[in-house]
Amino acid sequence: MPHAAGSAGQSILSGGLERSYIVHVPAGYDGLKRTPLVLSFHGYSLNASFFAPYANFDAVADAQGFIVATPDAVGSPSAWNSRAASGGTDDVTFVRELLAKLDGELCIDPDRIFAAGFSNGGGMALRTACDMPQQIAAIGVVGATYVNCREQVPLIAFHGLADPIVPFDGGDLPERGGPFPSVRRSVSEWARTLGCDGLPLIARPSSEVEVSTFQRCPSGVTDVLLYAIIGGGHTWPGAEALPEYIVGMTTQQVDASAVMWDFFAAHPHGH
């Protein structure tokens, strides 16, 4: 069992398929104290081996004391089945089975299980919020398109204003089967679902970062945040830059993984 600190590749049989994932146990983990868990979903055509060091939740996990599980999607190219109406691989059941396996091996806090994802993986994080709200306490997404559901799960979102793959202002993606709304509209609708009925408070903490804080949420704390990256591309803020001519600019003015964790830490179940 992966009780020792560090990262290890693991696998589980789900839906007749051997599904792989990387689990990172933080420094200082003793197996006795209930420990938070972050599920980290890679983007379309990527894999866990690339995404774990790219998002670099592991460094935050070691500093803050949480477990990270970075699973692999299946297919060629790899893709999460993030749409509720679509057929194909049952990734929600896979996530449920993965959580059960991790819970049997590690001392996980059931009130502090969170999901994060990039692009198609962000869609998968949203899907877990819609289909597994009793287990997923809060979610964080980067460069995602949004699904609509009525479940009330806190959300922190990041999106580049110059994203060439998933345009901030919406548009038409073949895998969406038609037009999709702007990120601002989608996040606003998520906030309304949570009962936040105030206009967002918009701040500009740095030259490349604009933060919309949705207000008057019933919980009394900030349940929805949108980080719009000015000039940002289809990239994970704070990560090592990918080729700009393909995906656009990567800001270093905010670390999405660290900021997500701060948001998650403030949003356990029943907060």
Q: At what angle do helices 57-64 and 48-55 cross, to 10 degrees?
A: 60
The pLDDT score that the predictor gives to residue 177 is 58
The pLDDT score that the predictor gives to residue 85 is 47
Indicate the helix (H) or strand (E) that contains 7.
Answer: strand 6-14
Sign, Cα dihedral of 268, 102, 55, 93:
negative
For the entire predicted model, the pTM comes to 0.95
The pLDDT score that the predictor gives to residue 199 is 86
The pLDDT score that the predictor gives to residue 86 is 54
Indicate the helix (H) or strand (E) that contains 121.
Answer: helix 120-131
**Rg of the chain (C-alpha set):** 17
The DSSP symbol for 99 reads: H
Q: Divide the 271 residues of the chain into consecutive groups of 10 and give the mean pLDDT of each group.
A: 79 93 95 96 94 96 98 91 70 96 97 98 95 96 89 95 95 69 94 90 97 88 94 98 95 98 94 64
The pLDDT score that the predictor gives to residue 188 is 94
Domains present along the chain, CATH in parentheses: 6-265 (3.40.50.1820)
The pLDDT score that the predictor gives to residue 220 is 75
Question: What three-state secondary structure class fits 49?
Answer: helix
